[in-house]
């Protein structure tokens, strides 16, 4: 009876590594990436698609893929960021040592032996147009004539704060 119990415990200790590789046990098939933008509040989409997010946020990505992140916000040019997957050599070594190569199959299938790099994405968005307060159009009128017997020019603008520079014309 004692031998049977010891054999059962040994099987239970060996079974998880053979069903789940070391990558699945030490990190899983997904990795969380911190995503930020300046300014905050940018919409983030991923390719391959995983959903739509708003910065700042955390995105849970599969370790087996490379990702392209696109940042968009009204009034700003879109920003782009690349995330690459890479093999974590230590996980492969653990699979070979502790699972007798059986752990390679689930780790390879799920991408659990990979890591994502970089682990954080920060993008600064560039404003498309500098917004200037004021009307869309300003009309300026110039009247040239005589006033009290002297030459005169009258300048009117449809908005206040318009600066007009007047210089004499030199004739040769």
Q: Is residue 8 helix, strand or coil?
A: helix
pLDDT for 146 equals 78
| Side-chain-side CA neighbours of residue 34 (13 Å) | 4
Q: 57-62 and 30-38 as β-strands: parallel, antiparallel, unpaired?
A: antiparallel
The per-residue b/e assignment along 85-94, b for 16 or more CB within 10 angstroms, e otherwise, is beebeebbeb
Instruction: Per residue of the chain (172 residues), give pLDDT as tens.
Output: 554 444 334 334 444 444 455 444 555 678 899 999 999 999 999 999 999 999 999 999 988 889 999 999 998 999 999 999 877 665 555 655 666 666 566 656 565 667 778 888 999 998 887 555 666 677 777 777 777 887 777 777 777 777 766 666 666 6
Q: Are 91 and 62 a contacting pair, CB within 8 Å?
A: no
For residue 156, give Cα distances in angstroms to 86, 151, 168. Answer: 67, 17, 19
* Residue keyed to tokens 């050599």: 89
pTM, whole model, 2 decimals? 0.56
Question: From residue 125, how far is each of 47, 118, 136 by CA, in Å?
Answer: 19, 19, 26
């Amino acid at each position: 009876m004692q031998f049977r119990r010891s054999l059962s415990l040994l099987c239970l200790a060996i079974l998880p590594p053979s069903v789940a590789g070391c990558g699945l046990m030490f990190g899983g098939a997904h990795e969380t990436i911190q995503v930020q933008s300046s300014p905050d509040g940018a919409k983030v989409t991923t390719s391959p698609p995983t959903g739509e997010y708003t910065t700042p946020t955390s995105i849970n990505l599969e370790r087996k893929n490379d990702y392209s992140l696109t940042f968009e916000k009204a009034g700003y040019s879109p920003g782009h960021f690349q995330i690459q997957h890479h093999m974590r050599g230590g996980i492969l070594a653990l699979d070979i040592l502790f699972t007798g190569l059986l752990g390679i199959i689930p780790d390879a299938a799920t991408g659990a032996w990979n890591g994502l790099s970089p682990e954080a994405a920060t993008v600064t968005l560039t404003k498309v147009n500098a917004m200037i307060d004021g009307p869309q159009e300003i009309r300026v009128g110039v009247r040239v004539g005589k006033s009290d017997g002297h030459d005169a020019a009258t300048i009117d603008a449809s908005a206040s704060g318009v600066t007009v520079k007047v210089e004499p014309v030199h004739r040769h």
